[in-house]
Structure 1
Amino acid sequence: MIKTLYEEIQARKKEPKEGSYTNYLFDQGLDKILKKVGEETTEVIIAAKNNQEELITETSDLIYHMLVLLAEKDVSLEAIKNELQKREGKLSKTKERKQIDEL
């Protein structure tokens, strides 16, 4: 599903369709796309404190906008998959991470 959506987003980038929200984002440029990613991220955080239905809706919005960002920056899903595979099975040592109040 995510791959199909990403391919549709890439197709819109190559062949714009009048009235398309995806093309609106591409036309507005990177700053607009980043603003939307930031807005959607905040909405996911708020939704996580509310209810599951809202969290699902807002997470879907965030994933869509992240895919638009990846397409804008010509980052493939394969590159993301490869990065995640490099991390697979590795233990993260919490003592090496900063505490949340130190970020």
Structure 2
Amino acid sequence: MTSFTLADLERIVAERGAASPEESWTAKLLAAGPERAAKKLGEEAVEAVIAAVKGDREELIAESADLLYHLLVVLKARDVALRDVLSQLEARTGRSGLAEKASRPR
């Protein structure tokens, strides 16, 4: 088991985002704007879905890593802290997923 966390990844995204776009993929994505980062997130989500449907475990692991990374880049681009997302998830754990989903505005 690894001790690496999403908080570690968030910190790395912030550090690399502060670098020069010529030196860092993260900085390059952030410099291109939230729309570009979001497009890349969408591409990675599709690739993860394809891997899951194919049943390719190793590809799903790799694409899931890409997906999580790109999600954190999008959050950074929109100035949303991971702790805010985790707080939302925590708030949802007090009730079943079906009840939570039913309570959302349509």
The two structures share one fold, judged by TM-score above 0.5: yes
Following superposition, the deviation at residue 89 of structure 1 comes to 2.9
SS in 2 for 1:32: helix
Following superposition, the deviation at residue 45 of structure 1 comes to 0.7
| Higher mean displacement: 70-79 or 16-25 | 16-25
- 2:37 maps to 1:27: no
**Structure 1: runs of 5+ lacking an equivalent:** 98-103
Number of aligned residues: 96
Q: Which residue of 2 aligns with 1:4?
A: 8
| Structure ranking higher on relative contact order (CA contacts 8 Å, 6+ apart) | 1
- 1:78 partner amino acid: R
TM-score under structure 1 length normalisation: 0.83
Following superposition, the deviation at residue 59 of structure 1 comes to 0.5
- 1:16 partner amino acid: A
Q: Which residue of 1 aligns with 2:77?
A: 72
Following superposition, the deviation at residue 5 of structure 1 comes to 1.1
Following superposition, the deviation at residue 76 of structure 1 comes to 0.8
State the Cα RMSD in Å: 2.0
Q: Which residue of 2 aligns with 1:62?
A: 67
TM-score under structure 2 length normalisation: 0.81
Q: Which residue of 1 aligns with 2:88?
A: 83
SS in 2 for 1:81: helix
Following superposition, the deviation at residue 73 of structure 1 comes to 0.8
Following superposition, the deviation at residue 12 of structure 1 comes to 2.6
Alpha-carbon distance in structure 2 between the residues aligned to 1:84 and 1:26: 25
Percent identity, aligned pairs only, is: 36
